[in-house]
Chains A and B, each alone.
Chain A
Amino acid sequence: MNLSEAGTLEFMWGILPELLKGLEVTLQLTVTSLIAGLVLAVPVSMVRTYTKGPLNWLATAYVELFRGTPLLLQLFIVYYGLTETGIVLDRFFSAWLALTLNSAAYQSEYIRGAILAVSEGQLTAARAVGMRTIQAFRWVVFPQALRLALPAWSNEVAYMVKYVSVVFMIAVQELFSRGQGIISKYFRLWPTIIEVALIYIVVVYVITRGMDYVEHRFRIPGLETRTARREA
């Protein structure tokens, strides 16, 4: 089939498999960097909340650095900057690393805010029944903080799907890059852009509904957050 000559709908149908391959990469990056980001965000938020001194400064500097600069710049530093210093990283790995570090900075702030929102009395009561501080955190403060952070975290998931598109700059073949490639190959701008946009809309919609379900599933009376979901 000659896609350059095909009718619009036929063209859109024809490029779908390639776009879906890109979507697969987008979702891989989204999921892996969100999870790795969360794993990194928890200790960072704890250090920021509970410690003073050099470790706290380090964590604060990290968060401010990654929240204060564009993701694109971070990506360039990881991919090109490190190459200059002799550390050569695979494209996909560079993309994943930059996204993870960026997301962890944001996620740590959601968690830190949620930890601070858990009332002091909760920790006091846990200490009073003989729990060590670390146990009180693990079994009382942290589970509540996670529930409280869930709405903000849901937004992060939806943002992430879209932020991943930035990695087309280092030619990782995710959804947006694939669309870009198709456009330069067939010179059919509008059908391609619209199809890429539709795929994003469907995916973000499904994720948002999914996170609504998760929030509902883990709802606990008295631990609801009044934060309205921002438009993702």
Chain B
Amino acid sequence: MAGPILRVENIHKAYGKTEVLRGVSFEVAPGEVVVIIGPSGTGKSTLLRCINQLTPPDQGRVWLEDVEITDKRTDINKAREHIGMVFQDFNLFTHLTAIQNVMLALTKVKRMSPAEARAKAMLEMEKVGLVDKAGLYPAELSGGQKQRAAIARSLAMDPKVMLFDEPTSALDPELIGEVLEVMKTLAGEGMTMLVVSHEMGFAREVSDRIIFLENGAISEDGPPERFFTNPKNARTREFLGKLTELYGNHGGPRGGRRKT
């Protein structure tokens, strides 16, 4: 088996005196889908941002394949091209249409010609089902469409791994499904994905592994079956219990409804 595509080793991050991450380590194999869950404020988003150095960690190292991203000599911009990132609030470029959002980094970072970039961008728009919305500005798109455009923008760079930071948390319930569908398809195509999410249905159905992050450290890391049926850890049980309270069962109506 090939080595891990992403390796995170002993990440520490503090904001002032508040320690957000205290020694997080894990590996992600090629094609693996890993979902990170945990109570809010446990550093899930910070962990993702430490991986692509949008928030440089205080301590610890990150490798993408055999390149150490945290090495000062590594060109971080080059590394970020290979790490797609999808944000909770989309962060589409407001002044550009959906397709221009996808094209921008292709022309400016990958130095493609506009025609090449347009063709490539159109391909990605097709993948996320937005061909007919390509010419619209973000303000003219629904939340689900915005997030799908944002996914297309990341995919266009042909990343080796995709980071999703609560991609459905800012969406109205009826728009969550279309985004999760796109993510499912991606997972099915073998994209390596690291997803911070509260979507238990997605976690159970699509993920290969679930990491439970608690107080800045990993307290559980294993396949979803074990996680849902037999959590090792009391805090995990409690957290799942809360979700059950909210949604009725482990998948919940939100997760369950989307099973197709």
Residues of chain A having any CB pair with chain B under 8 Å: 119, 121-122, 124-132, 135, 139-140, 143-144, 147, 220-223
Contact = CB atoms under 8 A, between A and B. Distances in A.
Given A129-B80, A130-B109, A131-B77, A124 B139 contact: no
Interface of B: 52, 54, 77-78, 80-81, 83-85, 87, 89, 91-95, 104-105, 108-109, 137-140, 150, 153-154, 157
Contact of A132 (B77, B92, B139, B153): B77
Contacts, number: 76
B164 to A, nearest CB: 12
A122 B94 contact: yes
A131 B89 contact: no
Given A129-B109, A130-B157, A131-B108, 16 more contacts: A121-B87, A122-B93, A124-B87, A125-B91, A128-B52, A129-B104, A130-B77, A130-B81, A130-B109, A131-B105, A144-B93, A220-B137, A220-B139, A221-B139, A222-B94, A222-B138
A143 B105 CA distance: 15
B220 to A, nearest CB: 28
A122 to B, nearest CB: 6
3 shortest interchain CB distances as A-B pairs: A222-B139, A125-B91, A130-B81
29 contacts: A121-B91, A122-B93, A124-B87, A124-B91, A125-B85, A125-B87, A125-B150, A126-B105, A127-B54, A128-B52, A128-B54, A128-B80, A129-B80, A129-B104, A129-B153, A130-B81, A130-B105, A130-B109, A131-B77, A135-B109, A139-B104, A139-B108, A140-B95, A143-B95, A220-B95, A220-B139, A221-B140, A222-B94, A222-B137
Contacts of A147: 95
A125 B104 CA distance: 12
A103 B110 CA distance: 39
Nearest to A132: B77
Contacts of A144: 93-95
A180 B95 CA distance: 48
B91 A129 contact: no
